[in-house]
């Protein structure tokens, strides 16, 4: 060593031997016993004369890669192989780092999914509590204590399928539940499990799918979101409090995992956004596993600032030849089939950090095929390589071990016949931890070319000469006077050739010459390919030779010597499609090519219904600026506004639907009697076609309510029916927040014989309300007295907002007795029930409702669909109006909402209300 201190020669030798022994024992020692004789040999290989792509930014020509005992020790041009290395000549070959997949369950046997019944929720009985044994959390869909490294076992078949597509390292986790525990990084080597694990607790995983959990809660998307939010809150409280409810292994594991990379399964453009919002609320930046359709909202996806794991699972073509089948294929389905391959390229174009995964593919062997299709639709090869190597390794902190070809890293690399993403390129071998796994080993030698084939009978006789054109390891032609039927195979070592006569044993005769010019000659039948010449042998440099039988079954020897290369393959290269359709907003048959801009409008000469004291104004103009009514009058100046002729038309305020269930992915979270923690706003669906249809019916705003499955349901959301915007832009800004309550048969589940969720009676409904607000009042006091020590409860937060007159109630109701009961509870706790909706017996208690200060929202003449609506009458709305209540007609139905003007008109006919009323 240049800078080592001078030592006497003897001591230098002792020091050298000591260091050598330390090095030997550091590599040889193992906790596993030896059965037999230990073999301490090092495995050293030098791959020479290769084009080595170290990473996406660095490529070496005519370079050498040296590996020893499963690791890369050197890489570069002009290197001299070590004396003990096995030298592998890679002339004409490329070497790449093996790929990395961050979203698999390779080697994991997850929990068995129970058989489910679509009506299970309604039939009961419900599983209210977790069935997980031990000191774990209350909900079995939250199991962060799951450690994939403890469940992992190598899987030869799956490993082989992934290696064949170029993968050498994967991140594996249990794809089950909302909080899924930790993932493990493993290589795809077929060794003992402890040898292939690269990193045990490498990541923490989440989703909004409760998976195999049989527990009743959550039963909806918004319930899953609420549960995940509450778990973040509970874990922070558990960590901060020296004294809490006791040991909770789930929350303890949750807190231990927060320093790991956090991976969230969005699986869809809206799911991605749901997850990102949860992360933003709790200062967590998720790595998001995407779906196939993010290209439809790529601006919103880019705004998350998250890194993504992007699948390449594209939809199959749909059969539209049969009109009876084609009518079930929507334009959205066809558009998605057309545009799904643009998804990876859309991430690249938007500047989003992403990696690629085999996840969602029916067969991982489709990966490279689909990836090449993505190249045709905008993804670049350079970005794809990064997305399969450096980016995933960096995201989960293993770039010091894998992801490029650099000294010190695991010897995970591919040997290919050309640039990795070229359609003609084959992966020859996939080396994982220094061990070779053959993929297409017959491609080691490029046998493509023209050969002189000479066949000589054994025992004397004249030789026959042919031309052998080899195009690939499975495709060749033998040419004599004519081109003969040929079957050819080459596995990298051995070759087999059938030609002339039958090329398929047991099949019918094929046209073509036999040996010695006898067409189809030789003995018919006989269990052999009738009349075919069969040759087998091996390759030696540029010469094939071996033995075989002629068309009559006589033994022959043969030689095929390379004579010249074949002409270049003229197969037309694949090209990007000439035309790719536009994304629609929303992605529907009635969507916009782009969202329309807002314009100033002047509507001239219409009959204006003001809904104010001015009443009806004939021949009147209305000027709209920046989306708001600026002036009403006659002969108004248009300025830059677009002019609309309203002559003969009526202009009225847009209809508001007080009770709607459209535009949401889930409506009911009915697992518990009180679910005030869930929010309709968390799962709005801006692509619901009912938005479009109800706009056509005059509705411009809708109050989207939670369902009536439980006594205290979820928080509601008022929306503007803005067709084409995202879910956030649907929301009505600066509105007073509401929550949905319900009474009666739906809540007590009268029709269910197996209901085990309290309550079963109307009396029980009242007690649920009393209990909930008693708990809320106690919680309110505790938070004011000791805010830091009191666990935040999302369910009780909403109820406290009611007590503090910050949130208001709309309540599903029918029967006068239960209406009166809820008002009693409200009076006791000092709040007002803002709205009784449905309230078909409202005419019986209109005076009480007025005294309480409630509004009412009802049907015009919809009844007789269950027992508690038998006393409904067509005059209900009119009677309550005459009593001085604020009355509205609601839909509670997507179809009825299209004609609310006609529903309201029934009260003119039956109840004598004026048109203004």
Written in H, E and C, the secondary structure of 96-107 is EECEEEEEECCC
pLDDT at 491: 81
Q: What is the pLDDT of residue 751?
A: 64
Residue 523's pLDDT is what?
A: 37
* CA atoms of 888 and 908, how far apart (whole Å): 13
Which residues on neighbouring strands pair with residue 560, listed in sequence order?
Answer: 453, 544
C-alpha to C-alpha distance for 858 and 869, rounded to whole angstroms:
12
Alpha-carbon span 498 to 485, nearest angstrom: 8
Q: What is the distance between the alpha carbons of residues 854 and 887, in angstroms, rounded to a whole number?
A: 10
Segment 757-763 long-range contacts (CB within 8 Å, at least 24 positions apart): 757/124, 757/126, 757/128, 757/216, 757/671, 757/672, 757/673, 758/673, 759/673, 759/711, 762/815, 762/817, 762/818, 762/821
Do 165 and 372 form a contact (C-beta atoms < 8 A)?
A: no
- Asked if residue 704 lies in contact with residue 717, where contact means CB atoms within 8 angstroms, the answer is yes
Cα torsion angle, 380, 381, 385, 386, sign: negative
pLDDT tens, position by position, 291-341: 999 999 999 999 999 999 999 999 998 888 888 888 889 999 999 999 999
Nearest-CA neighbor of 198 among 152, 256, 161, 242? 152
Structural contact between residues 528 and 548, judged by C-beta atoms closer than 8 angstroms: no
* Whole-angstrom distance, CA of residue 856 vs CA of residue 843: 10
How far is Cα 521 from Cα 523, in angstroms, rounded to an integer?
A: 7
The pLDDT of residue 3 is: 41
Structure tokens at 875: 């005059």
- Please answer whether residues 888 and 901 qualify as being in contact, where contact means their C-beta atoms are separated by less than 8 angstroms: no
Question: Which ranges of the chain have pLDDT less than 50?
Answer: 1-26, 28, 117-122, 502-529, 570, 572
pLDDT at position 573: 56
Q: Where are the alpha helices (DSSP H) in 191-241?
A: 193-196, 221-240
Angle ∠(785,786,787) on CA atoms, nearest 5: 110
**Secondary structure class of 70 (helix, strand, coil):** coil
Question: Which pTM does this prediction carry?
Answer: 0.88
Radius of gyration, CA atoms only, the chain = 37
Whole-number pLDDT of residue 11: 43
Tokens of 570: 């003229």
Return the ∠ at Cα 270 (arms to 167 and 683), rounded to 5°.
Answer: 140
| pLDDT of the residue at 755 | 73
Question: ∠ CA(646), CA(647), CA(651), 5° rounding?
Answer: 45
- Give the pLDDT score at 480: 86
Q: Are 384 and 371 in contact (CB under 8 A)?
A: yes
**b/e per residue, 413-438, with b = 16+ CB within 10 A?**
bbbbbbebbeeebbbbbbbbbbbebb
Report which DSSP code applies to 284: -
- pLDDT for the residue 242: 73
Q: Which pLDDT belongs to residue 517?
A: 35
Cβ neighbors of 381 (< 8 A, separation 6 or more) are 375, 419, 421
Q: Which phi and psi angles does 107 have, rounded to 5°?
A: 75, 5
How does strand 835-838 pair with strand 354-357?
unpaired
Is 169 in contact with 133 (CB distance < 8 Å)? Answer: no
Q: Encoding tokens for residue 144? A: 């962060």
Cis, peptide link before residue 125, omega less than 30° from 0: yes
């Amino acid at each position: 060593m240049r800078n080592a201190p001078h030592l006497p020669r003897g001591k230098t030798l002792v020091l050298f031997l000591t260091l050598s022994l330390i090095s030997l024992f550091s590599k040889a020692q193992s906790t596993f016993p030896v059965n037999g004789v230990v073999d301490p040999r090092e495995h050293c290989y030098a791959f020479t004369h290769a084009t080595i792509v170290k990473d996406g930014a660095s490529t070496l020509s005519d370079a050498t890669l040296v590996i020893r005992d499963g690791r890369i020790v050197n890489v570069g041009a002009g290197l001299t192989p070590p004396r003990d290395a096995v030298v592998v000549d890679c002339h004409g070959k490329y070497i790449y780092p093996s790929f990395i997949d961050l979203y698999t369950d390779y080697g994991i046997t997850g929990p068995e999914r129970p058989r489910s019944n679509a009506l299970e929720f309604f039939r009961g009985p419900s599983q209210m509590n977790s069935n997980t044994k031990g000191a774990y959390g209350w909900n079995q869909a939250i199991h962060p204590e799951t450690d994939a490294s403890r469940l992992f076992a190598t899987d030869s078949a799956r490993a082989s399928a992934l290696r064949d597509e170029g993968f050498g390292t994967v991140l594996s986790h249990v794809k089950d539940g909302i909080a899924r525990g930790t993932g493990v990084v493993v290589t795809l080597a077929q060794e003992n499990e402890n040898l292939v694990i690269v990193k045990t607790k490498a990541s923490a995983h989440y989703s909004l799918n409760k998976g195999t959990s049989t527990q009743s809660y959550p039963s909806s998307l918004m319930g899953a979101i609420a549960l995940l939010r509450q778990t973040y809150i509970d874990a922070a409280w558990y960590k901060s409090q020296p004294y809490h409810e006791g040991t909770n292994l789930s929350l303890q594991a949750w807190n231990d995992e927060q320093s790991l990379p956090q991976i969230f399964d969005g699986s869809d453009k809206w799911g991605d956004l749901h997850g990102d919002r949860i992360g933003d609320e709790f200062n967590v930046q998720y790595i998001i596993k995407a779906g196939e359709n993010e290209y439809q909202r790529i601006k919103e996806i880019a705004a998350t600032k998250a890194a993504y794991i992007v699948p390449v699972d594209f939809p199959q073509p749909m059969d539209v030849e049969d009109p009876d089948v084609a009518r079930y294929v929507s334009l959205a389905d066809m558009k998605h089939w057309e545009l799904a391959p643009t998804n990876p390229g859309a991430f690249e174009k938007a500047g989003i950090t992403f990696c690629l995964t085999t996840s969602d593919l029916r067969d991982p062997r489709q990966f490279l095929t689909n990836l090449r299709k993505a190249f045709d639709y905008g993804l670049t090869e350079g970005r794809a390589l990064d997305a399969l190597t450096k980016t995933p390794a960096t995201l989960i902190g293993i770039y010091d071990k894998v992801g490029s070809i650099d000294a010190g890293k695991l010897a995970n690399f591919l040997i290919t016949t050309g640039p990795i993403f070229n359609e003609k390129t084959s992966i020859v071998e996939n080396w994982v931890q220094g061990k070779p796994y053959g993929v297409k080993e017959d491609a080691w030698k490029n046998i493509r070319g023209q050969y002189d084939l000479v066949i000589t009978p054994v025992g004397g006789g004249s030789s026959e000469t042919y031309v052998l054109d080899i195009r690939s390891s499975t495709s060749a032609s033998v040419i004599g006077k004519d081109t003969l039927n040929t079957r050819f195979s080459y596995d990298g070592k051995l070759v087999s050739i059938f030609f002339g006569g039958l090329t398929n044993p047991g099949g019918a005769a094929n046209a073509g010459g036999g040996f010695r010019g006898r067409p189809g000659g030789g003995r018919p039948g006989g269990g052999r390919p009738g009349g075919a010449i069969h040759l087998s042998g091996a390759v030696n440099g540029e010469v094939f030779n071996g033995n075989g039988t002629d068309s009559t079954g006589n033994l022959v020897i043969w030689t095929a010597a390379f004579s010249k290369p074949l002409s270049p393959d003229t197969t037309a290269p694949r090209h990007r499609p000439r035309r790719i359709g536009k994304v629609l907003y929303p992605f529907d048959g009635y969507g916009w090519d782009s969202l329309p801009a807002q314009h100033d409008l002047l509507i001239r000469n219409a009959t204006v219904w003001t809904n104010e004291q001015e009443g009806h104004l004939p021949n009147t103009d209305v000027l709209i600026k920046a989306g708001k009514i600026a002036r009403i009058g006659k002969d108004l100046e248009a300025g830059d506004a677009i002019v609309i002729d309203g002559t003969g038309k009526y202009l009225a305020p847009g209809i508001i639907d007080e009770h709607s269930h459209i535009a949401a992915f889930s409506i009911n979270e009915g697992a518990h009697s009180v679910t005030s923690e869930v929010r309709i706003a968390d799962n709005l669906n801006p692509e619901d076609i009912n938005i479009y249809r109800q706009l056509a019916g005059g509705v411009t705003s809708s109050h989207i309510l939670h369902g009536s499955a439980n006594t205290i349901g979820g928080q509601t959301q008022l929306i503007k029916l803005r067709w084409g915007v995202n879910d956030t832009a649907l929301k009505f800004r600066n509105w007073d927040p509401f929550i949905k309550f319900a009474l009666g048969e739906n809540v007590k589940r009268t029709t269910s014989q197996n209901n085990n969720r309290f309550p079963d009676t109307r009396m029980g409904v009242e007690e649920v309300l009393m209990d909930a607000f008693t708990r809320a009042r106690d919680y309110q006091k505790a938070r004011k007295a000791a805010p830091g020590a009191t666990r935040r409860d999302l369910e009780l937060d909403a109820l406290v907002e009611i007590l503090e007159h910050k949130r208001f109630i709309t309540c599903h109701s029918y029967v006068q007795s239960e209406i009166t009961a809820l008002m009693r509870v409200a009076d006791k706790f000092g709040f007002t029930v803002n709205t009784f909706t449905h309230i078909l017996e409202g005419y019986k208690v209109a005076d009480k409702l007025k005294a309480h200060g409630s509004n009412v929202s009802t049907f015009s003449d919809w009844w007789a669909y269950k027992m508690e609506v038998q006393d409904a009458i067509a005059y209900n709305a009119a009677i309550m109006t005459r009593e001085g209540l604020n009355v509205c007609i609601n839909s509670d139905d997507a179809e009825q909402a299209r004609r609310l003007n006609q529903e309201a008109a029934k009260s003119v006919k039956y109840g004598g209300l004026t048109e203004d009323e």
